[in-house]
Amino acid sequence: MLVPDKDIWVTGDETLAEHLERRGVSRRSFLKFCTAMAAVIAAGGVSTGDAQAASITPEFIAAKLGELKKPVLVWLQLQECTGCMESVLRSGDTTVESLILNLVSMDYNELVMAAAGDNANQNLDKANAEEHILVVNGSIPLGEAGAYTTVGGKSAEQVLRESAEKAVAIFAVGACAHWGSVQASRPNPTGAVGVDAIIKDKPVVNVAGCPPIGEVITASLVYALTYGGPPPTDNQGRPLFAYGNRIHDFCPRRARFDAGEYVQTFDDSAAREGACLYQVGCRGPETFAPCPITQWNMHTDWPIGAGHPCIGCTEPQFYDRFTPFYQVLPEIQVPGVGVEADATKVGLVALGLVGVGVAAHAGATAVWERREARAADKINLPLLGDLPTREQSAAPLVVPETPPAAEAPADGATTTEEQS
């Protein structure tokens, strides 16, 4: 139980352990939180080969966090919908109380702070004057000299640059902060870009998703607080412990994919029986995300578990690359996928579409061969091939009007029409 009149950090040498004890947070509650964070980090570490993440323990997290002295957090919300903060607020277990009210001194956040107006701006200026962790939700609109989003008379770009100056770690949380998300989709009228398009002199950790899972946001911050720096990332800047595997690799419907058992419409018998959602637009084979492992709402459900295909929201430019969401891209069947096809035969099916190679499936062999190359930043993470340039993204999609012609039947074979 928290003690309301003792919520303020004591200036000076008060450690986090002392702060929690003074606030009435029991050691048991603190270790429970650390256990949940260790589970999220270690689970991804094991599957990606990250030895540091895989070996993390609740006791180690508790010891490191307990030594901290007033870690300051600045949480900006720029051009966005507040969904990422809501994801943390409503995560169910590792809640905002656990992270923001107990572990750090969050000196600025538009959504949950009590201060407003000039007082809020003064809080931000004070926090920016000392070392702090910076979390950013939302894209940065550069169009019309930044007029599309202003805070306290300053453009989003100016607010970001000022807050990043003394930041010891920067987290771009959500697809908007990662690459611009919906606002940056063509024709991108506000000129929206992600945080790492503005901040070039410091590493930016992209906690991707629309929104990201609340526990992953929290675990990313806890990792930085525990180790004194950001977690290892892939070549999209995403934490490896969370984004090191494709959804396809751990999807509970993977066996149905390999068996060629697909949902064709959302009301067919295959949908009711839990068949693979690839034919109704699932982007799981092309999307790196922790959803099937961590899941949502205290590990109770996630989109595919609820019967909805993955839309690939952790991947850059997903809105332009993956729409229309409920159709296979491109609109052709994948040959050779079924119980008879092994991983080598399935392989990587590259199909050109607006400069993007669309991969329908990568077998286990290809996944393991790519893992070392991915860590060395030698390939693009999405199994779709190279990301489109801005110019390519602005071009209209070219979808064949008619499907490829069917192969002629072998000599002596009869067609369905002839049989009827």
Strand partners, 350: 359
Q: What are the structure tokens assigned to 187, written together?
A: 């024709």
* pLDDT (0 to 100) of residue 410: 52
* pLDDT (0 to 100) of residue 91: 66
Predicted model pTM: 0.76
* pLDDT (0 to 100) of residue 349: 33
* pLDDT (0 to 100) of residue 263: 95
∠ at Cα 101 (227, 32), nearest 5°? 60
* pLDDT (0 to 100) of residue 24: 80
Query: Which residue, among 236, 201, 218, 267, has the nearest Cα to 384 in the 3D structure?
Result: 236
Q: What are the structure tokens assigned to 309, written together?
A: 């295909």
Can you give the residue ranges of every domain in the chain?
Answer: 4-243, 252-394
* pLDDT (0 to 100) of residue 314: 96
Q: What letter would DSSP give residue 387?
A: P
In tens digits, the chain (420 residues) has pLDDT values of 333 344 556 655 788 888 888 878 888 888 888 988 898 898 877 766 777 888 899 999 999 999 988 888 999 999 999 888 888 777 665 554 455 556 777 888 888 787 788 888 999 999 999 999 999 999 999 999 999 999 989 999 999 999 999 999 999 999 999 999 999 999 999 999 999 999 999 999 999 999 999 889 888 999 999 998 889 999 899 999 999 989 998 999 999 999 999 999 999 999 999 999 999 999 999 899 999 988 887 788 899 999 999 999 999 999 999 988 998 876 434 434 433 233 223 333 322 322 223 333 333 333 334 444 444 443 333 333 344 443 443 444 333 343 444 454 455 544 444 444
Q: Would you state the CATH architecture of domain 4-243?
A: 3-Layer(aba) Sandwich (3.40)
Phi first, then psi, for residue 285 (nearest 5°) are -65, -15
* pLDDT (0 to 100) of residue 40: 87
Parallel, antiparallel or unpaired: strands 132-137 and 72-77? parallel
Cα distance between residue 143 and residue 183, in whole Å: 12
Q: How far apart, in Å, are the Cα atoms of 180 and each of 347, 381, 389?
A: 32, 18, 14
* pLDDT (0 to 100) of residue 98: 56
CB atoms within 10 A of CB 89: 15
Sign for the pseudo-dihedral over CA of 161, 165, 166, 168? positive
Alpha-carbon Rg for the chain, nearest whole angstrom, is 24
Phi first, then psi, for residue 139 (nearest 5°) are -85, 170
Query: Which residue, among 294, 336, 325, 314, has the nearest Cα to 382 in the 3D structure?
Result: 314
* pLDDT (0 to 100) of residue 93: 58
Count of alpha carbons within 13 Å of 6, Cβ hemisphere only? 12
* pLDDT (0 to 100) of residue 364: 34
Q: What are the structure tokens assigned to 400, written together?
A: 């064949």
Q: How far apart, in Å, are the Cα atoms of 115 and each of 10, 110, 144?
A: 20, 9, 29
Q: How far apart, in Å, are the Cα atoms of 338 and each of 72, 75, 265, 393?
A: 53, 48, 19, 33
Fold designation for 252-394: Cytochrome-c3 Hydrogenase; Chain A, domain 2 (4.10.480)
